[in-house]
Structure 1
Amino acid sequence: MDGSITNGSPQSTSRRAFLKASAATAATGLVLGAGAKEAKAFAYEPYPRDDDLETVVTSCAHNCGSRHMLVAHKKGDVIVRLSTDNGTYQGDAYGTDTEEKPQLRACLRGRSYRSRLYSPERLLYPMKRVGARGEGKFKRVTWDEALSDIAQRMVYLRDTYGPTALLDQSYAGASYGVLHKSDQIEGLLGRFMGMFGCRTSSWSVPSYQGTTFSSRTTFGTIQDGNEDDAFAHSKLIIMWGWNPAYTFHGGNTFYYMRMAKQRGCKFVLVDPQYTDSASAYDAWWIPIRPNTDAAMMAGMAYHIWDNDWHDQAFIDRFVQGMDKGTMPGWAQGQESFKDYIFGERDGVAKTPEWAAEICGVKAEDIKKLAEMYATTKPAALKASWSPGRNAYGEQYNRMAAALQSMTGNIGILGGCAEGVGKAWHAEAVAYPYDQFANVWYASIKSDRWAHCVLNYPNLKREEIGLWPRMDQLDGVAPNIRGIFWQGSDWLNQLTNINKEIAAIRKLDSYGEGESLLVCMDSTITPTGIWADYLLPIATHFERHDVALPWYKGHYYIHRPVVIQPLGESKTDFQVFTELAYRLGFGPGYNPRATRDYFNDPTQVDEAYLVAWWDNVRHHQGVEWDWETFKKRGVYKFVLPEPHVAFRPQIEQGMPFETPSGKIEIFSTTLAQTPDWTRTQYGYEIPAIPKWIEPWESLNHPKAKEFPFHMISPHPRWRTHSIFNNIPWLRETFAQETMMNASDAEKMGIRTGDTIECWNERGRVITPVYVSERCMPGVVVLHEGAWMDLDEDGVDRSGNPDFLTLDNPSPAGAFAYNTVLCNVKKSDLNHRPGWDKLSTARSHVFRRDL
């Protein structure tokens, strides 16, 4: 075996033959061997019982929309099993699980972490590429060799190609610990590269960039969310593109929504697919054509006004630009939101009948939902992020905010203003070091890096969302020559993967030493296959930290060093500190550490966390000292009342954080922007929410060639691409394309057939699941499958991002769900993991080449 990654089956065949032969040998020994031991019930003897195990409280760490408790049960330095919160860890009675203090129970993904920790694909040693780019040939090297080479190459690229030569592609794969962060905004890599003086950063968040724009434009903040206990007080919850059974938005979303159901709350789902959440809550399902949500909301707004169901007193007091009477004096004569809805400028009234032609929802259903929402108090319109991951996705979120405002459902218990939805902001207290020393020279939109590399230097700034302006950067776009992937599998997860691969190949074409690709992770990932260096990073079980809620949840969870790092793994903080010393700014980067931190971070990490906890106690009134917190493992804040976004504004008259101090349906900033080419967006954005036809949709002429609209929601069994290599989860859920039964019947397709989905950007292979759970003309393929390319460039694993488009939406929304494609039966084999049985490719990284 030459150590290369191959795409055929010989590896699997040889593996199965080896196992078969081993089993046969073992069986012969049992039958014929003298003195063979009597068979026992357990595979290992002695098998550890609970009384033999040490129990350690920790948490999960992945970027799922939550942060739950894990309890590690270990024998020596080995985690034997994982359990979760049972109510006792804060000193309460066993089984304590109340509305004020619910258990932080881990889901199936979190409970499977042991398989990820001890995966055959766990990176254990620094590795250096020795084969062709993307071939997967690496050899083991020492930390000294790897870091010396990387530091030398960093200096060369910075000095030769300038302060934008290195691209920061950190992300939230294991984010929001207090000390160890892989976040693109506040993370360790950004701080390191900024202090080094060579960084091109990314200003956009793939999950909710359009939503971020909407929340900041409308409310002046992204902290527009209630804590989830507020859902328990709703009389109506509209799940618009939201499936909380799969994507938790806070620690106990499902718990509180079940409580609302028990109290008589009605549920509605607006979504192209019928979800498990709709089933659990017996929701009224309204199928809608993808990317047409803003049009349907406009039709609802018309019907609410037409029947005088709006809350005029709320509008007059708190809202700017909803109608002529609430337009600011300096904007008199400009179009208000009501003007637009009633077609006073364009001559097109946005009636339910008008909306029905666009979104495929019956006008009567639009009217019924509008009446339910406007006349049920309090009602929560939860405008989830998914419909905003579209071309012009920001208009959907802004339109939702208009509906929330015109019905007066903002700032009241049981209502909802959520766009981004950040709520009680646990992490707002002081950090243990200067998180925001992220000096940067240029920032581009995350999914436009490949376009930048492929077209440099012949670029307009709006093509890549460059910020600051080019005239502040000597008139040129970033000359990207290297990439650091930290806590991210972005080559697998950003839009238009084939374009990314082309950009990687261009970097490779510059010649030996003229580019640098570094992947820092605990696991071998599809992105790592393309790197020059693989650096083994300790998991959250192997480093000291405190877990913070993701963007909701009022608690902290202590994360001790549960086991010692496997192999030669180091924390990100150790790696960046050592590199900083080699590059001349070690003490500035890690002020509490000496050079020995690379070998032993124990005392330094503890000192940072103790200082942070002292800040917590001062800012948030926590009574426990640090030792008590460590002993208990979790601190749950008991709030005097449910946290409701904008309650102080509505009840006490405090101003909103907008230029006008009001909810801005008519945006002061957008209306007063004189030159859009001098913004980070580069394209005009209307001052009020509007329906704008996306680049691709079922209403587009292109649908004649590509008649299916693909959506790629989050799966239950992965967190983006994390956990894709866990056998337990792959056995439970399959990567397959769901299509409507009527579409399948016309094409002679049945459940279990293998199909190909394709467009001009790429091709993917999956099994098909035929169902009535998605509407005709729509196919559903969950995001995050690890790419597996064959010799013809076809992805056999079923990653939808081979079909997505990386074009920039004006306000920065990622168009993951703006995809037209075609479908046909295929004779090609689907490869569901990197091997159906286990992890066949790990052998590549287990030998010296």
Structure 2
Amino acid sequence: MSTNTHAVSRRSFLKTTGALGALAAAAGGAASADAMFGTAPVAFADGQETTTWGHCAINCPGRCSLRFHVKDDEVVWVDTFTSKDAGFDDLQPRACLRGRTYRRWLAHPDRLSYPMKRVGKRGEGKFERISWDEAIDTAASKLKEVIDTYGNEAVFVPYATGVSASTSRPFNRMLNLVGGYLNFYNSYSTAQISCITPYMYGNKQAGGSTLSAAEDAELILIFGSSPTETRQGGLTTHYDWVRLREKTNAKIYIIDPRMNDSVMGHSETWLPINPGTDAAFVAGVAHYLIENDMVDLDFLHTYCVGYDEETMPEAYKGMNMSYYDYIMGLGYDMVEKTPSWASKITGIPAETIEKIAREIGTTKPLYVNQGWGPQRRSNGEWTAWAIMALPCLVGQIGLPGTSNGTREAIQSCSLGKLSAGENPVKKSIPCFLFTDAIDHGPEMTAKNAGVKGGDKLEVGIKYMINYAGNCLTNQHSDINKAHDILADESKCEFILGIDTVMCDSLKYCDIILPDLFRFEQVSQIATGSDHGYMITGQPCTSPKFERKTAYEMASMMAEKLGVKEEFTEGKTEEEWIREIYEGTREKNPALPTWEEAVEQGVYVEKKAPFISMEKFRADPVANALDTPSGKIEIFSEKLLQFTEGWELQDGDTLKGMSTLPPLPVYIPEWYGVESTTDEFPLVLTGFHYRGRIHSSWGFIEDLKEVNPQEAWINPLDAQERGIEQGDTIRVKNQFGIIELLAKVTSRVVPGTVAVSQGAWHMADMYSDPERVDRGGSINTLTTQRPSPLSKGNPQHTNICQVEKVSA
């Protein structure tokens, strides 16, 4: 173990860890530096503590560095990477507020310490302690029983984001050695944009430019992104965004239903828009550009397919199916997409749409970027596609200062992963539809549910291994429906859960195993943003109680199932990590040796700005895209043919169409600004929160005090309902009821309520007939109906009503 000795005074601690006075003030004095990060002056007095490097492993691209100060085998406080560690001031992968509170999580009273089995109903949270032998024997025996009875297609590993590292998926490897499991595709975060981007750009050059490339732009458009909230930390997109705003002279517009924290300090950059209407805004801009001859026809005719009749595929010419025809009202819905039309939908004045369109048409370079909020909707595939089409219209792709309308690129020190081997089961489902696969799996087909690798499922999910995930309930849509499905033990017969604390999803597991954090074991991770970095960590303390690593657990199950030798190949987890790293060094010899990486803890690589599609722009023939045409496909024949014959629901497509649109059109949401009702007159949208990454840290009391769970509501809507700042309110719709605090603010557009996602679900699922969630989890209110193309998570597509809770 690499250790260093430091004599750290309390004064220097407070100085090096940042603006803690501001933190305490933000909390109303409730959360001090001592409470958040730890202090223990007695431990520092003799200067004998040791330090080890570790890393955050939650689903944030920051995965920041953590330095653990240890005394008597206990962590006394946590700090992070600073300029003196690297020898330069500008590139510092420092941990955010959440990462620096890991001590609170590490030693939390609710930390899981022993294997347990369920003794109550699923969801009640009643468990008793058992031995490791009983836990592993039960989990392995039930797995064998399910495989023997139903086949390996009945086994599933749900989507989970609580652990990221080079060896963080050992259960997948173990399952492949006993016949495999039902795969999933997509993610809860990016299903819609990940699905549609290859249709337009292919896969080879589909990523966006780095934010550093925007330093050369004159105009920057950001759709639905807030790096300072979603990607905090010292060397991830938060850093890149702050640096960009300091360096650029460009005009910036952030198009969002909220004045998010990335806008703060520059409120003139906020362009308020009704949720789910970004594609309508783009259509209104496109109409103005076309009508005023501001489109770049040379670019569109050289690099694109489907803009106008001249660039349509031969089979579809003369049918008014081009993008031009859609915008000008000559095809599809026969509605002209004027700025006035767009204004009525978006809430943005027509004059403002025209003004921004003029700026887009006359200002170069133009950098267009989108976050993942706009695409996480019922119409998200077409929203993402429309935003990508915007820079194409004016030829602002592949040049300095431009991007292609997707999210910014992340540049990483790439590391390999522990091989999972080949999965003998070839079928896969969208990850968002796992509850459907439990409830009525054999009814799911390629045409109605996006099943891949076969025409349909033969059996429902009967066995799950839920490792480091809270998507069984808390992060899954319609928690009440998820509860009803999971509580029925005749459907999914066994659930194995592995985690560090008892989150809501773990209450539905039959056996629970206590996990170690990645910083309590040897671990390595690589990530980055504009620049890349790698963290090589050693155990901060010895394992406490009966906690084990996931690799140890999977090895024990493999031994029970007779495949341990194949699983481990005679290697410890540390030996696997080192072998994976040495393979990476063969491809990148500039990386430090293993011994140097351990000693350094943190390794940073400076990288040049990356310009998306630069090679394609320079030579579209030699560097053709891997789309069917080799060009940018604004019209996708491939999508039209792939989705032919799909079973669609009302609202999945444009009125009058029986197929999914092969263009970046605006489709009204099922539950949106154009489909509110008298019963549910408000739009409900979600957002990411500083105090959590998804539901991780959602139970840490100090962070909850600093970041209370609130519903943002505009003063106009609050006044109509007699609601004042700080009132407890009920937000309800056809799926459920939540209670939380009211944040009355003009930072959210009228008619919209915004609730941060990830709050821990707190409802009595058996005694309360209304199942009121007093934790304020937005997923109590979100629909489990998937978006039509990707079958993805439409978490931000909701309508609701709000009322004050009587005292």
Residue among 94, 103, 110 paired with 2:92: 103
Counterpart residue number, 2:794:
815
Identity of aligned residues (%): 30
The amino acid of 1:261's aligned partner reads R
Query: More deviation in 664-673 or 538-547?
Result: 664-673
SS at match of 1:689: coil
Q: Contact 2:206–2:613 (CA<8 Å) still a contact in 1?
A: no
Distance change >3 Å, CA 371–CA 438, structure 1 → 2: farther
Counterpart residue number, 1:585:
563
The amino acid of 2:82's aligned partner reads N
Residue among 66, 86, 105 paired with 1:116: 105
Counterpart residue number, 2:642:
673
Cα distance in 2 for residues equivalent to 1:669 and 1:277: 37
Counterpart residue number, 1:758:
732
Cα distance in 2 for residues equivalent to 1:254 and 1:453: 39
The offset of 1:293, in angstroms, is: 1.3
Normalization by structure 1: what TM-score? 0.84
1:653-692 to 2 correspondences below 5 Å: 653=620, 654-673=623-642, 675-677=644-646, 684-692=659-667
1:85 matched to 2:81? The reply is: yes
Distance change >3 Å, CA 393–CA 44, structure 1 → 2: closer
Cα distance in 2 for residues equivalent to 1:466 and 1:551: 34
Query: More deviation in 459-468 or 564-573?
Result: 459-468
Query: More deviation in 558-567 or 814-823?
Result: 558-567
Distance change >3 Å, CA 167–CA 210, structure 1 → 2: same
Normalization by structure 2: what TM-score? 0.88
1:233-632 to 2 correspondences below 5 Å: 233-248=216-231, 251-262=235-246, 263-334=248-319, 335-345=321-331, 346-419=333-406, 421-424=408-411, 426-427=413-414, 430-431=416-417, 433-435=418-420, 437-455=422-440, 457-459=442-444, 461-470=446-455, 476=458, 478-490=459-471, 491-506=473-488, 508-509=489-490, 515-549=493-527, 553-593=531-571, 604-632=572-600
Residue among 199, 217, 221 paired with 2:181: 199
Q: Contact 2:412–2:533 (CA<8 Å) still a contact in 1?
A: no
1:152-231 to 2 correspondences below 5 Å: 152-175=141-164, 177-179=165-167, 181=168, 187-221=169-203, 223-231=206-214
The offset of 1:562, in angstroms, is: 2.0
1:746 matched to 2:720? The reply is: yes
The amino acid of 2:629's aligned partner reads S
Q: Contact 2:217–2:402 (CA<8 Å) still a contact in 1?
A: yes
The offset of 1:201, in angstroms, is: 2.8
SS at match of 1:823: strand
- Alpha-carbon RMSD: 2.5
Q: Contact 1:543–1:560 (CA<8 Å) still a contact in 2?
A: yes
Q: Contact 1:744–1:770 (CA<8 Å) still a contact in 2?
A: yes
SS at match of 2:137: helix
Cα distance in 2 for residues equivalent to 1:178 and 1:553: 19
Q: Contact 1:469–1:678 (CA<8 Å) still a contact in 2?
A: no
Give a deviation string over 1:452-479, Cα, whole Å, max 9, x none. Answer: 33345455554443223335x5xx3x32
Cα distance in 2 for residues equivalent to 1:614 and 1:223: 29
SS at match of 1:106: coil
Q: Contact 1:170–1:487 (CA<8 Å) still a contact in 2?
A: no
The amino acid of 2:166's aligned partner reads V
Q: Contact 1:230–1:413 (CA<8 Å) still a contact in 2?
A: yes
Distance change >3 Å, CA 86–CA 44, structure 1 → 2: closer
Cα distance in 2 for residues equivalent to 1:456 and 1:438: 20
SS at match of 1:631: helix
Counterpart residue number, 1:46:
42
The offset of 1:401, in angstroms, is: 0.9
SS at match of 1:743: helix
Q: Contact 2:39–2:77 (CA<8 Å) still a contact in 1?
A: no
Distance change >3 Å, CA 618–CA 509, structure 1 → 2: closer
SS at match of 2:547: coil
Q: Contact 1:355–1:363 (CA<8 Å) still a contact in 2?
A: yes
SS at match of 1:470: coil
Distance change >3 Å, CA 157–CA 240, structure 1 → 2: same
Counterpart residue number, 2:35:
none
Counterpart residue number, 1:722:
696
1:774 matched to 2:774? The reply is: no
Cα distance in 1 for residues equivalent to 2:628 and 2:285: 28
Cα distance in 2 for residues equivalent to 1:61 and 1:697: 35
Q: Contact 1:170–1:484 (CA<8 Å) still a contact in 2?
A: no
Q: Contact 2:181–2:423 (CA<8 Å) still a contact in 1?
A: no
Q: Contact 1:267–1:281 (CA<8 Å) still a contact in 2?
A: no
The offset of 1:804, in angstroms, is: 0.6
Give a deviation string over 1:557-597, Cα, whole Å, max 9, x none. Answer: 1122222222211111221122112112222222243xxxx
Counterpart residue number, 1:648:
615
Give a deviation string over 1:357-377, Cα, whole Å, max 9, x none. Answer: 112211111112222233222
Q: What count of residue pairs does the alignment treat as equivalent? A: 750
Cα distance in 2 for residues equivalent to 1:772 and 1:45: 44
Cα distance in 2 for residues equivalent to 1:420 and 1:739: 28
The amino acid of 1:178's aligned partner reads S
Counterpart residue number, 2:3:
none
Cα distance in 2 for residues equivalent to 1:753 and 1:746: 14
Distance change >3 Å, CA 45–CA 644, structure 1 → 2: closer
* Gap regions ≥5 residues in structure 2: 1-37
1:74 matched to 2:70? The reply is: yes
The amino acid of 1:145's aligned partner reads E
Distance change >3 Å, CA 360–CA 150, structure 1 → 2: same
Cα distance in 1 for residues equivalent to 2:478 and 2:40: 47
SS at match of 2:295: coil
Q: Contact 2:161–2:469 (CA<8 Å) still a contact in 1?
A: yes
